[in-house]
Amino acid sequence: MSAPVIEVRRLTRRFGDFTAVDAVEFEVQPGEIFGYLGANGAGKSTTIRMLCGLLAPTEGHATVAGHDIARDPRAVKRAIGYMSQKFSLYLDLTPTENLSFFAGAYGLQGAERRRRVEAALVESELTERRDTLTRDLPGGVRQRLALVSARLHRPQVLFLDEPTAGVAPDARRAFWREIRALARAGTTLFVTTHHLDEAEFCGRVGLMVDGRLVALDTPDGLKKAHVPGVFLSVFAQGGDLREALRGVDGVLGLQPFGRRLRVRMAADAPLAGPEALAAHLRARGIDGVEVERGDASLEDVFLELVRRSEKQEA
């Protein structure tokens, strides 16, 4: 296995006596899409800013592309691309001007600078809007421009902080297609999001709760470890479903989902199948029962882990 591109050891950042990032540890491999998830205030942006050499850690260590973030933040900045949570684009400049500005900031000059700017406009399909003010571009287009701006100097690592916040669903999907293509071509991606559906596109996902990394695995690994069992989605015309499920062996959790109730059940429970559960509910007098097999989602994992960490604190 090759050396990790990002190595993080007990990385900590305090603001006064408040700990925003608390002894976080992980590694990211070349070409991996690493998702960093958590609610607002969990410590995602603070972690990214430390890893980009923009904010000094209070304690702990990290290297990015072989450079120590505390000892050599300038080398880190050269090796990475960073798309900040608040867009770094200048709204009263055109795409051409924004790209030219970033190219200069990354040390590209003269013909090479012009060549990269042209290539970026073509690559992000912005040639027709090259002279439109950035503020007049739709969110998804601005997104593409911000991404291509962060990549002008061909960094081996890209840090994207909530790149799809406020972007329409179809533009989000297009954006993720691009992220995956970049990873296939060898770029390492560190992406924060609070869209849990997007985390499914990540190779591995780290979950942050109150500054702590409470779980880290592949999306499937997280589901198996934290919300094991079978998910059954139950619909009924009439009757008290919760009451009818009382005392049923192996029920691990109930969660309303629109007009349905999602039931999580131990895989070896007697009623852990759509037909068996439907028959039981009919026998308990529930009308118009439909039961379908469902899937665990990262939302389930997240809720479970947040609940667990709140319980620990109580």
Ligand X SMILES: Nc1ncnc2c1ncn2[C@@H]1O[C@H](COP(=O)(O)OP(=O)(O)O)[C@@H](O)[C@H]1O
Size of the site for ligand X (CB under 6 A): 10
State the alpha helices, DSSP H only, in 27-138. 44-51, 73-79, 95-105, 110-123
Choose, by CB under 6 A, the member of 24, 28, 35, 45 that binds ligand X. 45
Tell me if 196 contacts ligand X by CB under 6 A: no
Q: Is 143 in the site for Mg ion (CB under 5 A)?
A: no
Pinpoint the alpha helices (H) of the chain: 44-51, 73-79, 95-105, 110-123, 139-150, 169-184, 196-199, 219-226, 241-245, 274-283, 298-313
Q: Applying CB under 6 A, which part among 44-52, 111-119, 148-156, 241-249 lies near ligand X?
A: 44-52
Closest CB 251 distance from ligand X, rounded Å: 33
Per the document, the length of the chain is 314
Tell me whether residue 17 or residue 128 sits nearer to ligand X (CB atom). 17
| Separation in Å, CA 183 to CA 150, 201, 203, 248 | 15, 11, 10, 46
Segment near ligand X (CB under 6 A); pick from 36-44, 95-103, 168-176, 227-235: 36-44
9 touches 25 (CB < 8 A) = yes
Rounded distance between C-alpha atoms, residue 13 and residue 22, angstroms: 7
43 binds ligand X (CB under 6 A): yes
The C-alpha atoms of residue 234 and residue 225 are separated, in whole angstroms, by 24
Taking the complex as a whole, how short is the minimal distance between the CB of residue 82 and ligand X, in angstroms?
Answer: 14
Closest distance to ligand X from the beta carbon of 244 (Å): 41
Out of Mg ion, ligand X, none, which partner does residue 289 contact, by CB within 5 to 8 A per kind?
A: none
Task: List the interface residues with Mg ion, window 12-51 (CB under 5 A).
Answer: 44-45
Shortest Å, Cβ 38 to Mg ion = 9
Positions in 12-31 near ligand X (CB under 6 A): 15, 20
DSSP-derived secondary structure letter, 4: P
